[in-house]
Copies of this chain bind each other. A is one copy, B any other.
């Protein structure tokens, strides 16, 4: 009876528990450094169950990776493909949503970039962010702004790199930046929080620059 209640309480199925644990451990340590025993322990289950449900470490990893990438890009591609918002609004919403996402999932950037390093071709075909970005409403609006002379002559690829850089870099460099600036977790998060407002300001400043090579 009590056992039942407890089981009801921590609701999730074994399969889900393992997947969640795998997500945490893989995100934190990467594929190579993560041991299946770490994942089993994190999930509070017997090691054999991992293979019972997912066959192998690699299969489990692939699930986590696909899950991570699609969740991650889905959430932001929504914003840049919203036909209702203006270009300027998208900049603010994108920065704000992206930073919020990273504040709760701060391991993801290093995880993605370090795993892609080990396996670029296989991982990259799992996702189609190509279209999501380069055929986005956001890109179209950028081009319109260019033609209307509202922003300086510049390359969309550079612009996107800059935008992403200003948003994502603090999370990638977080341990280093925390250490060199002697800030604790809360102070650091507060600073990053400020960037939800600041990044759009800086991006607007960058957009005024006429930087097209002639």
- Chain A residues with CB under 8 Å of chain B are 28-33, 107, 110, 112-114, 116-118, 120, 124, 129-130, 133-134, 157-158, 161-162, 164-166, 168-170, 172-173, 175-177, 179-182, 191, 194-195, 198, 201-202, 205-206, 208-209, 211, 213
Say whether A179 contacts B120, CB under 8 Å.
Answer: yes
Say whether A202 contacts B206, CB under 8 Å.
Answer: yes
A selection of 21 A-B contacts at a CB cut-off of 8 Å is A28-B117, A29-B32, A30-B33, A30-B118, A33-B33, A110-B113, A110-B117, A113-B113, A116-B175, A117-B175, A120-B179, A124-B176, A130-B179, A130-B181, A134-B181, A158-B195, A161-B169, A165-B169, A201-B211, A202-B205, A202-B209
* This chain's copy number in the assembly: 2
Closest to A165 in B: B169
Which 5 residue pairs across A and B have the least CB separation, nearest first? A165-B169, A32-B33, A32-B32, A114-B114, A205-B205
Say whether B113 contacts A172, CB under 8 Å.
Answer: yes
Give which listed residue, B32, B176, B208, B209, contacts A113 with CB less than 8 A: B176
CB distance from A190 to the nearest CB of B (A): 10
Q: Indicate whether A169 sits within 8 Å of B170 (C-beta atoms), given known contacts A113-B110, A211-B202.
A: no
Contacts of A114 in B (CB 8 A): 30, 110, 113-114
CB distance from A50 to the nearest CB of B (A): 19
